[in-house]
Chains A and B, each alone.
Chain A
Amino acid sequence: MQRIGVFVCWCGSNIAGTVDVKAVAEALKNEPGVVFSTDYQYMCSQAGQDLIKNAVKEHNLTGIVVCSCSPRMHEATFRKTASAAGLNPYMVEIANIREQCSWVHKEMPLGTQKAIILGKAAVAKVNLNTPLTPGESPVTKRALVIGGGIAGIQTALDIADAGFPVDIVEKKPTIGGKMAQLDKTFPTLDCAACILTPKMVDVAQNENIRIFSYSEVEAVKGFVGNFEVKIKKKARFVDETKCTGCGACIEKCPQKKVPNEFNLGMDTRRAIYIPFAQAVPKVATIDPDYCNMLKNGKCGVCTKFCAAGAIDYKQKDEMIEEKYGAIVVATGFEPISMDKFDEFAYSQSKDVITSLEFERLTNAAGPTAGKLLRPSDGKHPEKIVFVQCVGSRCSACAEKGKEYCSKICCMYTAKHAMLTRDKYPDTEVTVFYIDVRTPGKNFDEFQRRAVEEYGVNYIKGMVGKITPEGDKLKVRGSDLIANKQIKIDADLVVLAAAIEPDKSARPLATMLTASMDTNDFFTEAHPKLRPVESPTAGVFLSGTCQGPKDIPETVSQAGAAASKVIGLLQKDKLVGNPCVASSDQLMCNGCSSCERVCPYGAISYEDKDFPGPNRTTKTRRVAVVNPAVCQGCGACTVACPSGAMDLSGFKNTQIMAEVDAICK
């Protein structure tokens, strides 16, 4: 028989305001097993915890019921208290009489009555509690970073710096991500490539970092500290170890008409290519959709010119299996498609472009070698219109836009407008804005400089319709302050497209069992206090996969994620959750029902000898649960037809006792 102590907390007036705590303590005194019952103002305070510790010693308690706030709040606290008093921490149960009682009910008698019933249920459960000892699992001292943009690069560098090996998986042929495509960065206007490419080189040279470029994560198994990941290294038809990146093959490749995705299709590349000059790894890749040799076996020019003999048309996709202790998601963003915004004529005119395309147009390595020329006729545009919030803050139709603010558009539009006026003072630059949002260090000053020093014309309003007419774009917008409709004959229109999470994020989240919000951004374990951790243990978030961010924010989050990973990897052992399933082998009939429902593959079978009638032995197939892999969901306990499977901490008998106590 248990000796149970009941501790009713007032939580100041939070509980005592609606629940008669004395009456609760009094009523629970007569429950079976209860030998001590009391109340106190703040049970979680040091004095309250001492009260519990003393009572454990004085009354030889074997179980504790705390009637207080939610177990999500203080279960860990009281388990530690019990532990300090020499009790098994899993002999503590919490009756949630604050969040689920005093805060949601207004009348004292009702609140008190419900608190007593909740207390009785907890007592009934503790009566059946057994001491549990958590298992330990080792930690694989290697981290995986998924995505090789600035977020992934920074996280990998920081983890590697602490001495742990890191692998970066990047689906494109090179790391660098979106930042590599940018020209300048706000608000300091330093060149993106100048600050990013040295970091990319650092990654390549770091002994602790391996880069799997042109690769994707195929499958993830395991749990925190012990992930097993399958990575598909796509065939690039070039031997990475031999290729020197000299570029001779690219020069000679006869297939010249491949849209260049790095310049967003505004120019062309060859079928064998290196995305950009500073690519890491600087290795050529053959595009199988365009290569004549791979498509119909007629060509082979690149082989002839490759001095290193690196071309290998027979290369196959390769599967790599590796173990990791922690996984960092850094999958980044994409600008949304503009195809559905008919009013902005994006698909009708080449001179309506997105801001990322504008970024390439002004970049010295871009399709126009940095000269701002219209994509349609190569002329210098004299009137440029920027439209902000295209697809952002758009709640009306989910298939078109996004409800959230994309956060970076105000600043990069100010940057584009300012740089245009700086380089081409003869151009007329107009920005249509709904609100200018510039919270950030030196951000508002930057935007004001665009207006005051560079004479960018900011109009509070929105563009309603763009009609291509001749070589002009007729832009019709509103000026809400002047209460006017404005018509501009523009040469170039730049749309500040909303950003959305990369398409690969959703399937990845499923593999990782990490949760996502309705916009496919990864959710954090706590929006304020655990912003870089996913609710799934061992999975961390870095950069825009968690929400729109600019570069400094991305880099700081990347560093934060790295520090969490380092904190995890430096542990030798992880203490597991002892609330795992186990099978009663005497009852198990080896039917495999439990194995089929287990989402973690924690259940296996073994043949075991059991004593049979007349001193014989009988060999039976029985289920065995691997406690390190089991996460304690309990799916198997319900699937088991013979009732052999049970879940520690939430045993059938315990939950049944709670039901009985509530329904009594």
Chain B
Amino acid sequence: MQMKEYKPLIVAFCCNWCSYAGADLAGNNRLNYPAEVKIIRVPCSCRVNPMFILRAFQRGADGVIICGCHPGDCHYTSGNYYTRRRMATLFSMLDYLGIEKERTRVEWVSAAEGAKFAATMNDFVKTVASLGENKRLEDLRCKR
């Protein structure tokens, strides 16, 4: 049997003002990162409901990353602070459930940091790939 190369599925939530623009900049500068990363645009990182993350893991995502503006730079003043606190709680709960902490991440990427965006994604995909498939939360009914 031939082993298929394992490609993790990564869902990235990017805030419209900083990180989504940062991802666009990575594109403008042709900075490569793996195609496994799929970006969902949200107005602010604080729009990311923990439900979305649970749903992603349930549907077979292997890693979820949330990118927002740097602390203090939020377009909506304080949204990213909410993100930081909410996600700290959620991630430690997920860890308890068996979704390793390395599969979830919050990262601050500004609109000027295309290089950081690409580097972050490369690193995150590598980390998640080394953990293998997410099995703990995957709903078998949703199996592809």
A–B interface present (Cβ within 8 A): yes
- Report A-chain residues with C-beta under 8 Å of the C-beta of B46: 597, 633-635, 638
User: What separation, in Å, do the CA atoms of A662 and B57 have in the docked complex?
Assistant: 11
Question: With A599-B76, A659-B56 in contact, is A121–B38 under 8 Å at CB?
Answer: yes
Please determine whether B27 and A103 come into contact, CB atoms closer than 8 angstroms. yes
Please determine whether A633 and B59 come into contact, CB atoms closer than 8 angstroms. no
* Interface SS majority for chain B: mixed
Of A71, A599, A634, which is in contact with the most chain B CB atoms at under 10 Å from its CB?
Answer: A634
- Report A-chain residues with C-beta under 8 Å of the C-beta of B128: none
Please determine whether B59 and A664 come into contact, CB atoms closer than 8 angstroms. yes
Question: With A597-B82, A655-B52 in contact, is A634–B42 under 8 Å at CB?
Answer: yes
Of A111, A113, A118, A599, which is in contact with the most chain B CB atoms at under 10 Å from its CB?
Answer: A599
Tell me the B5-44 residues at the A interface (CB within 8 Å).
9, 11, 16-17, 20-21, 23-24, 26-28, 30-33, 35, 38-44
Chain B minimum-CB-distance residue to A112: B35
Please determine whether A655 and B27 come into contact, CB atoms closer than 8 angstroms. no
- Report A-chain residues with C-beta under 8 Å of the C-beta of B49: 637-638, 652, 655
Tell me the A622-641 residues at the B interface (CB within 8 Å).
631-635, 637-639
Tell me the A474-495 residues at the B interface (CB within 8 Å).
none
Please determine whether B35 and A660 come into contact, CB atoms closer than 8 angstroms. no
Q: Tell which of B47, B61, B73, B118 touches A634, judged by Cβ atoms closer than 8 Å.
A: B47
- Report A-chain residues with C-beta under 8 Å of the C-beta of B56: 659, 662-663
User: What separation, in Å, do the CA atoms of A90 and B44 have in the docked complex?
Assistant: 19
Please determine whether B26 and A104 come into contact, CB atoms closer than 8 angstroms. yes
Q: Is A465 an interface residue (CB 8 A)?
A: no
Contact with A along B64-108 (1 / 0, CB 8 A): 000000000101111100100010000000000000000000000
- Report B-chain residues with C-beta under 8 Å of the C-beta of A599: 76-79
- Report A-chain residues with C-beta under 8 Å of the C-beta of B78: 599, 635
Q: Tell which of A104, A535, A631, A663 touches B32, judged by Cβ atoms closer than 8 Å.
A: A104
Please determine whether A103 and B44 come into contact, CB atoms closer than 8 angstroms. no
User: What separation, in Å, do the CA atoms of A153 and B56 have in the docked complex?
Assistant: 55
Please determine whether A650 and B60 come into contact, CB atoms closer than 8 angstroms. no
Chain B minimum-CB-distance residue to A513: B77
Q: Is A110 an interface residue (CB 8 A)?
A: yes
Q: Tell which of B16, B40, B50 touches A662, judged by Cβ atoms closer than 8 Å.
A: B40
Please determine whether A633 and B40 come into contact, CB atoms closer than 8 angstroms. no
* B residues adjacent to A (C-beta < 8 A): 9, 11, 16-17, 20-21, 23-24, 26-28, 30-33, 35, 38-44, 46-52, 55-56, 59-61, 73, 75-79, 82, 86, 118, 142, 144
User: What separation, in Å, do the CA atoms of A633 and B43 have in the docked complex?
Assistant: 6
User: What separation, in Å, do the CA atoms of A659 and B76 have in the docked complex?
Assistant: 24
Q: Tell which of A72, A121, A535, A639 touches B40, judged by Cβ atoms closer than 8 Å.
A: A121
Chain A minimum-CB-distance residue to B142: A663
Of A103, A104, A117, which is in contact with the most chain B CB atoms at under 10 Å from its CB?
Answer: A104
User: What separation, in Å, do the CA atoms of A101 and B30 have in the docked complex?
Assistant: 10
- Report A-chain residues with C-beta under 8 Å of the C-beta of B55: 656, 659-660, 663
- Report B-chain residues with C-beta under 8 Å of the C-beta of A515: 73, 75
- Report A-chain residues with C-beta under 8 Å of the C-beta of B79: 599, 633-635
13 contacts between A and B (CB under 8 A): A99-B24, A104-B27, A104-B118, A107-B35, A110-B35, A118-B38, A634-B79, A638-B50, A647-B43, A650-B47, A652-B49, A659-B59, A662-B11
Q: Is A278 an interface residue (CB 8 A)?
A: no
Please determine whether A535 and B60 come into contact, CB atoms closer than 8 angstroms. no
Q: Would you give the shortest CB distance from B13 to chain A, in whole angstroms?
A: 8
Please determine whether A650 and B43 come into contact, CB atoms closer than 8 angstroms. yes
Chain A minimum-CB-distance residue to B47: A634
- Report B-chain residues with C-beta under 8 Å of the C-beta of A638: 46-50, 82, 86
- Report A-chain residues with C-beta under 8 Å of the C-beta of B144: 664
Please determine whether A655 and B76 come into contact, CB atoms closer than 8 angstroms. no
Number of A residues near B (Cβ < 8 Å) is 49
Q: Is A571 an interface residue (CB 8 A)?
A: no
- Report A-chain residues with C-beta under 8 Å of the C-beta of B59: 659-660, 663-664
* Interface SS majority for chain A: helix
User: What separation, in Å, do the CA atoms of A662 and B60 have in the docked complex?
Assistant: 10
| 8 tightest Cβ-Cβ pairs between the two chains A and B | A99-B27, A634-B47, A663-B59, A633-B76, A103-B27, A633-B44, A99-B24, A110-B35
Please determine whether A72 and B61 come into contact, CB atoms closer than 8 angstroms. no
Please determine whether A579 and B43 come into contact, CB atoms closer than 8 angstroms. yes
User: What separation, in Å, do the CA atoms of A104 and B50 have in the docked complex?
Assistant: 29
Q: Would you give the shortest CB distance from A297 to chain B, in whole angstroms?
A: 45
Please determine whether B43 and A634 come into contact, CB atoms closer than 8 angstroms. yes
- Report B-chain residues with C-beta under 8 Å of the C-beta of A121: 38, 40
Please determine whether A72 and B21 come into contact, CB atoms closer than 8 angstroms. yes
User: What separation, in Å, do the CA atoms of A72 and B30 have in the docked complex?
Assistant: 17
Q: Is A96 an interface residue (CB 8 A)?
A: yes
- Report B-chain residues with C-beta under 8 Å of the C-beta of A533: none
Q: Is A106 an interface residue (CB 8 A)?
A: yes
User: What separation, in Å, do the CA atoms of A118 and B11 have in the docked complex?
Assistant: 11
Please determine whether A104 and B33 come into contact, CB atoms closer than 8 angstroms. yes
Q: Would you give the shortest CB distance from B1 to chain A, in whole angstroms?
A: 22
Q: Is A70 an interface residue (CB 8 A)?
A: yes
Q: Tell which of A70, A114, A662 touches B27, judged by Cβ atoms closer than 8 Å.
A: A70
Q: Would you give the shortest CB distance from A538 to chain B, in whole angstroms?
A: 14
Q: Is A595 an interface residue (CB 8 A)?
A: no
Please determine whether B41 and A652 come into contact, CB atoms closer than 8 angstroms. no
- Report A-chain residues with C-beta under 8 Å of the C-beta of B38: 114, 117-118, 121, 662
User: What separation, in Å, do the CA atoms of A515 and B44 have in the docked complex?
Assistant: 15
Question: With A96-B39, A113-B35, A664-B59 in contact, is A656–B51 under 8 Å at CB?
Answer: yes
Q: Is A105 an interface residue (CB 8 A)?
A: yes
Q: Would you give the shortest CB distance from A386 to chain B, in whole angstroms?
A: 35
Please determine whether B60 and A663 come into contact, CB atoms closer than 8 angstroms. yes
Q: Is A100 an interface residue (CB 8 A)?
A: yes
Additional pairs, 15, CB under 8 Å, beyond known A597-B46, A633-B43, A633-B75:
A70-B20, A579-B43, A597-B82, A634-B42, A638-B48, A650-B42, A652-B51, A655-B47, A656-B51, A656-B52, A660-B55, A662-B11, A662-B40, A663-B60, A664-B59
Of B24, B118, B144, which is in contact with the most chain A CB atoms at under 10 Å from its CB?
Answer: B24
Contact with B along A170-184 (1 / 0, CB 8 A): 000000000000000
Q: Would you give the shortest CB distance from A523 to chain B, in whole angstroms?
A: 9
